Chains A and B, each alone.
Chain A
Amino acid sequence: DIQMTQSPSPLSASVGDSVTITCRASQTISTYLNWYHHKPGKAPKLLIYDASSLHSGVPSRFSGSGSGTDFTLTISSLQPEDFATYYCQQSYSLPYTFGQGTKLEIK
């Protein structure tokens, strides 16, 4: 299985800040990397697919980059609703695997 490792966790920031979350794959996954936003009791939401493509309806303050083994999710100008847990997920090969999650907390 491909192991996905996220950093940092947790991450503390304030409304209006810009933050970056990193995800590293244990082997190359091209750009088959997706990012999700998750709040307790809610459905996870797709933010970014194919490493850098913004999912429909997702605000443009979210952006993704990377290829191979190293990827980043950047959120510019944090809004109150952005404080949640973020997961990366590889869809390069089965079984799909997720990072351990990065909890973004209000400073």
Chain B
Amino acid sequence: QVHLQESGPGLVKPSQTLSLTCTVSGGSISGGPYFWSWIRQPAGKGLEWIGRIYTGGSTNYSPSLQSRVTMSVDTSKNQFSLNLNSVTAADTAVYYCARVSSMDYYMDVWGSGTTVTVSS
């Protein structure tokens, strides 16, 4: 069974870059017709989709974050990553990674999330 685990710093200073990695276990990140996504949830708020990446490297980002987001995939490590630059307190959230079916684009496997706080 595929399992996803987010990792990265829990504290990032304002104006710096937030960098997270999602490690895929129990299956190959290249093993099927899937996209890989990042989603976040600020405290007390709902879920916000950040973007997706295909194992071939093609990406789609949320228009509201597009100017600050970069996603990448490392098939040799079975990982994909999120970089969000010029962060502010508004980027404080729980960040989730998820697998997205390329058929109907539902997110069928999620990580348990990692909390990132932006503060000096």
Partner of A87, one of B47, B106, B108: B47
Secondary structure of the A side of the interface? Answer: loop
Contact A43 B46 (CB under 8 A): no
A46 interface residue (CB < 8 Å to B): yes
Of B8-16, B25-33, B78-86, B110-118, the segment with at least 4 beta carbons within 8 Å of chain A is B110-118
Residue of A nearest to B112 (CB): A43
Cβ–Cβ < 8 Å partners of A44 in chain B: 47, 96, 98, 107, 110
Interface size class of chain A, counting residues whose CB lies under 8 Å from the partner chain:
20 to 34
**Smallest Cβ distance from B99 to chain A, in angstroms?**
10
Q: In residues 35-69 of chain B, which contact A (Cβ within 8 Å)?
A: 37, 46-49, 60, 62-64
Cβ–Cβ < 8 Å partners of B96 in chain A: 43-44
**Smallest Cβ distance from A72 to chain B, in angstroms?**
17
**Smallest Cβ distance from A59 to chain B, in angstroms?**
16
Residue of A nearest to B105 (CB): A91
